[in-house]
Amino acid sequence: MNILNTLTLRSLKLNRRRTIVTIIAIILSGAMICGTFTLAASFQDLFVQRAIKTDGNYHATFHNVYPEQIKYITDNAYTKTAMLSRNLGFARFEQSTSEYKPYFYVKEYDAAAFRHMPIELTAGRFPEKAGEVVLSEEIKKRGGEAYQIGDTITFELGKRVDEKGQQLADNASYEETEQFVTTDTKSYTITGFIAKPYFENFNNIPGFTAVAYLDQDTVTPNDAVNVSILGKKARDVYDKIPEIAENAGIKEYTYNNELLKWMGLTQNDYAKEMLYSVTGILIALIVASTVIVIYNSFAISVSERKKQFGMLASTGATPGQIRKTVFFEGVLLGLVGIPIGIISGIGGIGITLNIVNRLVSDMMSGMDIALRLVISPAVILATAVFTALIIFLSTYIPAKRASATSPIESIRLNRDIKINGKTVKTSKLTRLLFGIEGEIALKNLKRNRRRYQTTVLSLIISIVLFIAFSTFINYSYKSTELYYQDITFDLSVLIDGISAEEQKEFFEQVIA
């Protein structure tokens, strides 16, 4: 270690109070930046969990895939997990007490699909071989009380057709004029029950879900299935899926947009832009405020050491060496403050998330998900980079100023402190209002305007930061209450399973 660095260490030890204050400022800067990034990552993880619960844990689905095409998907290097599924159609549910859901809606999943699709087992087990099925709990509530685990259930599968004999889409609402045409009969052993799937709440499928086991070996060459995949790298999904489809000769495929959206991979998505914009604004405010505070500390340090720099310059120290001395001080303080700041930020956000988890659980409509603390290497690296940038910006001007001053000016301090009658003159009103103490204080401020301006700017930034964060938190709570809790109404009606004409008639009656 050279003599200049040794002098820097000695200066830090001699000015312990200022050194500690500067380290605390760096710790607060790192903690706020790390906390903001960690909070954003944790909320993003929460919405990813929700998307998996509602839409499934897969990236894309290939539709109408025939057996000879499956290998092009499953054997592709990009495919991490492949899951097979298909819709067998509808079967009459004679005991149904729901006027607009008189059917079973029968699907088939293979073992991987049962693990990744948005279904939750509530009793029994998932099917493990052909001839086994799980039923939605809603079936027992809507006339199927007699169905028990271990029973055999027979589905008379078929299709729904309208008055003209055209097949109706699966998600088409039930029409009293429609007819049901039986095409096949299958029997299954009930192995368990599942919670009402999310998609049953938000579509018009006129049937209750039943999911059987799909054995790939039983799929005939003329039978088409759907193949959903989880890719090895989600960020490559939009490049790889079209490539796989082209190689396999598949024309139709879709993406799991809800999941990809919250993973930050979709384009032109307002939710992602909002999350990133808010995070960016908060980080910008933190950087602006902490740069001023830390700069003020380094400026004071340089001002106090100017005589020392002048003597060093007079003995042969170059401007570059003096600049490096100031930067070395910043590096030393950063090595202490940045790690502690990162740990403090993660710990603080962890405590905060534990407190707000109950509110988040209520917001997520009883889903079994939680706001978890996400500790990402990228967040730690970003925090270290941003905090190091703040320290560099804070030391750059003081370092440049220290190296640009001549030895004589540094020793005399005639650049920072200017004394003449006109400069430090105060009005009689100052003494009248604040007394002799106030007049002396004002003269001292005028004597060294640069330090005074820096202090005022620090106060301004601190107030702006406080108001910005307070306003952000206040509006966040208000929007949450408006959307989830404090909506004033006397009656809430969920329209499900009725025709479009009846929906229109109902809305007209409500408006009237």
> Could you identify the residue written with the tokens 């003599």?
3
Q: For the segment 317-361, what is each residue's pLDDT rounded down to a tens digit?
A: 788 888 888 888 889 999 999 999 999 999 999 988 888 776 666
Do 71 and 213 have their domain in common? yes
Select from 384, 415, 446 the last residue of a domain.
415
pLDDT at 292 over 90: no
Cα 116 from Cα 81, distance rounded (Å): 9
Q: How confident is the model at residue 486 (pLDDT cuts 50, 70, 90)?
A: very low
Do 108 and 246 have their domain in common? yes
Do 249 and 315 have their domain in common? no
CA distances from 429 to 41, 99, 146, 439, 448 (A): 55, 86, 93, 9, 21
Do 184 and 284 have their domain in common? no
> How many domains would you assign to the chain?
2
- Kindly report the average pLDDT of the chain as a whole number: 83
Q: How confident is the model at residue 5 (pLDDT cuts 50, 70, 90)?
A: confident
Q: Are strands 152-161 and 179-194 parallel, antiparallel or unpaired?
A: antiparallel
Q: What percent of the chain has pLDDT over 70?
A: 85
**pLDDT at residue 83, rounded to an integer:** 96
H/E run at residue 105? strand 103-109
Do 14 and 64 have their domain in common? no
Q: For the segment 82-124, what is each residue's pLDDT rounded down to a tens digit?
A: 999 999 999 999 999 888 899 999 999 999 999 999 999 999 9
**In 3D, which of 142, 60, 111, 43 has the Cα closest to residue 356?**
43
pLDDT at 480 over 60: no
**Better-predicted residue by pLDDT, 41 or 440:** 41
**Better-predicted residue by pLDDT, 450 or 395:** 395
Do 310 and 376 have their domain in common? yes
Q: What is the mean pLDDT of residues 219-248?
A: 93
In a domain? residue 468 = no
Q: For the segment 410-465, what is each residue's pLDDT rounded down to a tens digit?
A: 566 555 555 666 666 777 777 777 788 877 777 777 766 666 676 777 777 778 77
Q: What percent of the chain has pLDDT over 90?
A: 37
**pLDDT at residue 319, rounded to an integer:** 80
pLDDT at 157 over 90: yes
Q: What is the mean pLDDT of residues 258-277?
A: 78
Q: What is the mean pLDDT of residues 210-234?
A: 93
Do 338 and 205 have their domain in common? no
In a domain? residue 263 = no
Instruction: Give the domain range for residue 108.
Output: 60-255
In a domain? residue 264 = no
Do 282 and 357 have their domain in common? yes
pLDDT at 221 over 80: yes
> Could you identify the residue written with the tokens 């980080």?
283
DSSP per residue, 228-297: EEEES-GGGHHHHHHHHHHHHT---EEE-HHHHHHTT-SSS-HHHHHHHHHHHHHHHHHHHHHHHHHHHH
Least confidently predicted of 67-71, 415-419, 484-488:
484-488
**pLDDT at residue 215, rounded to an integer:** 92
**pLDDT at residue 237, rounded to an integer:** 93
In a domain? residue 511 = no
Is 485 within 8 Å of 360 (Cβ atoms)?
Answer: no
Q: Write out the two tokens for 220.
A: 């005939």
**Better-predicted residue by pLDDT, 505 or 367:** 505
Do 249 and 356 have their domain in common? no
Is 296 within 8 Å of 390 (Cβ atoms)?
Answer: no
In a domain? residue 348 = yes
Least confidently predicted of 97-111, 221-235, 264-278:
264-278
Do 235 and 333 have their domain in common? no
pLDDT at 127 over 90: yes
Select from 363, 388, 415 the last residue of a domain.
415
DSSP per residue, 428-465: HHHHHHHHHHHHHHHHHHHHTHHHHHHHHHHHHHHHHH
In a domain? residue 482 = no
In a domain? residue 485 = no
Task: Tell me how far apart the 2 most distant CA atoms of the chain are, in Å.
Answer: 106
CB atoms within 10 A of CB 149: 14
Q: How confident is the model at residue 407 (pLDDT cuts 50, 70, 90)?
A: low
What backbone torsions phi and psi does residue 202 show, to the nearest 5 degrees?
Answer: -130, 30
pLDDT at 170 over 90: no
pLDDT at 154 over 90: yes
Do 83 and 201 have their domain in common? yes
pLDDT at 484 over 60: no
Do 83 and 17 have their domain in common? no
Select from 373, 393, 415 the last residue of a domain.
415
| pTM of the entire predicted model | 0.75
pLDDT at 246 over 90: yes
**pLDDT at residue 440, rounded to an integer:** 78
> Could you identify the residue written with the tokens 């092009």?
72
Cα 510 from Cα 493, distance rounded (Å): 11
**pLDDT at residue 40, rounded to an integer:** 86
Least confidently predicted of 77-81, 223-227, 282-286:
282-286
In a domain? residue 471 = no
pLDDT at 476 over 70: no
